[in-house]
Structures are given as C-alpha cells and as structure tokens.
Amino acid sequence: MQRLRERFGARELTATAQGRFHVAHQEVGESLDDWSDRALKLATVAFRDLPYAYAAEQAVTKFCHGLIDKEAGKHVSLQLPTSMGDAMNMLKIYSHVQSACAAAPRYTQETEQEESRWVHEVKESTHCG
C-alpha cells in the first residue's frame, strides 16, 4: 500500500507548497471568506509536517499580509490576532470605522479659522448692541 501511495499519491513537495503559500495573496474579486479559507488550506499543506497550530498561525499572518487593502491588513496584523475568526472580526471593525470616518465631515484648520471668525463676529455684535 505504501508503495502504491508513493507511486500514485502525487503529493506536492513541501518546498513547492511553501513557495505557493509565501506568494499567495487575495485576488481581485475574491471575498474575505474565500481568501481566509484559501490561506488556511495553503498553510495546512505547506506546513503539513508541523503542528496544526503553527499552520493556523501562519495562515492568519498570510491572510493579513496578503489582503488587497494593505492598510487594513497592516492594522489587523499589528493587533496580533490569534485566530482567523479574530482577524476577520478585527477587519470588520476596521472597515466599519473607516466607513464612519469617511462619512464624517472633514475638520480642517480652515474650518477652525472660519468658526473662530464667526464666534468673534457674534461676540462683537452682542457687545455693540
């Protein structure tokens, strides 16, 4: 049986699997769920001779570093997620905060100067009359 497995198993070399893992990244149009599944599958094959916990840790890191949105990946990676679910939750929070901040009015130095001038004009008009 072992000889048959060796002959017909066509198992990918560990070095080849690790190479595919290291160059992997989220494809355009690939959902976060699909990317996380693919990163985990690639890590499991690439690190098949090591404990699963190591492969899972590497998959989480690859998931973050391989995201199309590099800023989101960096932000989540710096929070040191301990699982793929943890990384996904952090990414969802990041996306929510980014959307909320993008929708908020921009507060600039020019806006501050306009408000200061307006407050000054109101104070002058109340003192004069």
Residue 79 is predicted with a pLDDT of 96
Helix axes 70-78, 52-65, angle to 10 degrees: 140
More confident residue, 125 or 36: 36
- Residue range 3-51, pLDDT digits in tens: 655 566 556 788 999 999 999 999 999 999 999 999 999 999 999 999 9
CA distances from 67 to 23, 44, 125, 127, 128 (A): 12, 19, 56, 59, 61
| 61 pLDDT above the threshold of 80 | yes
Residue 52 is predicted with a pLDDT of 94
Domain of 13? 2-128
Tell me the percentage of the chain whose pLDDT exceeds 70.
73
Looking at the structure of the chain, the number of domains it has is: 1
Give the SS3 label for residue 116: helix
Chain Cα centroid distance, residue 85: 12
More confident residue, 97 or 125: 97
CA angle 80, 84, 88 (to 5 degrees): 85
